[in-house]
Amino acid sequence: MKNTYSTSKYASMLVLVALLVAVYCQGHAQDSKGNDSGNWVDLYVPHADEVMPYRLMDPLGFDSSKRYPVIVSLHGGGGTGNDNRKQLKVWNEQLADSQRRSDFPCYVLAPQADHLWDAAHLARIKELVAELPSVDMDRIYMLGHSMGGHGTNVLIQLDPEYFAAVAPSAGTGRKQDEDFIDAALIKDIPIWAFHGDKDNVCPIDPQLTLFAEMQELGGNLKLTTWAGDGHGVSGKFISGADNGTTQVSSDRCDPESNFMKWLFAQSLSN
């Protein structure tokens, strides 16, 4: 009986160890590129800054002989602060995917604001981009959700000739902000906007008004509407979803349906 008990106890310990190892491995699984899939946040290196803290993800396989686009990522209200962490959202994780980084090498700049995005933020963003090595200045992009989508629309009006393309998600603000966008000022910028048709935080009506104005002007705006969705759609514009319907304001709009392919095809030199 003594030997039987010892053997049984030993076997139980082996099972427990195996389970612990399995849990550990699952939580620290590596993808095909050897990146730790549980530590995507670490790919965004934090930087302190007097104007705004920010995180920066470098291009995968950086080569100084090449030129790389920059994606400026603007967080929504939930990322506001100065901890230099909360600004990283679901789309930042998607951009950190190893296959996506391989297919679309670029810088991703994720600043953090402690108030609504404004001219001081834009000025600092432009300074930071100018300091990056091997940047393709003809392909500076900007995207964001909610306050970040609103900020995207604000910042492109401050300098309509800086960004090669932008993608605001739920970005036309609340009802009282209907008139904050000057369509004539931004009509030539390639824009792909996204909005849930049941959004009660940033209702879609101002977005539809802007789209109609861009149609009249022959502007370069694509609008994807997520049927049945509310405000929480920030995880969809990069990956796509079956409940989206896309309209174009004119034949100037690039018909490409893959978001990343569309984004990286836009250039000030086009």
Q: Quick one: tokens of 164?
A: 């090669």
- 196 in a domain, yes or no? yes
pLDDT for 13 equals 43
For residue 250, what pLDDT is reported?
A: 98
Q: Which two tokens stand for residue 77?
A: 């209200």
> pTM for this structure?
0.85
Residue 25 lies in a domain: no
State the maximum Cα–Cα separation within the chain, in Å, rounded to a whole number. 89
Does residue 32 fall inside a structural domain? Answer: no
Residue 129 zone, left/alpha/beta (φ > 0; ψ -120 to 50; rest)? alpha
Where does the pLDDT of residue 72 fall: very low under 50, low under 70, confident under 90, or very high at 90 and above?
very high
Q: Is residue 63 part of a domain?
A: yes
Q: How many domains does the chain have?
A: 1
**Does the residue 214 lie in any domain?**
yes
Mean pLDDT of 178-189: 87
pLDDT in tens, 107-131: 999 999 999 999 999 999 999 999 9
Task: Supply the pLDDT for residue 180.
Answer: 80
Domain that holds residue 144: 46-265
Is residue 130 a part of any domain in this protein? yes
100 vs 11, 46, 178, CA distance in Å? 44, 21, 35
Residue with tokens 């500076």: 140
Contact 231, 196 (CB under 8 A): yes
The CATH number of whichever domain residue 185 belongs to comes to 3.40.50.1820
Q: Which of 16-20, 35-39, 223-227, 248-252 has the lowest mean pLDDT?
A: 16-20
Each residue of 162-181: pLDDT tens digit?
999 999 999 986 544 556 89
Position 217 in a domain = yes
Residue 23's pLDDT band (cuts 50, 70, 90): very low
Please tell me the least confidently modeled range out of 64-73, 175-184, 198-207: 175-184
Work out the average pLDDT over 226-238.
97
Residue 17 lies in a domain: no
- Point out which residues pair with 192 in neighbouring strands: 222
The amino acid present at 59, given as its one-letter code, is: P
pLDDT of residue 202: 92
Q: Are 149 and 139 in contact (CB under 8 A)?
A: no
Cα angle 130, 134, 136; round to 5: 75
Give the pLDDT of residue 174: 53
Residue 132 has pLDDT above 90, yes or no: yes
Indicate whether 66 pLDDT > 80.
yes
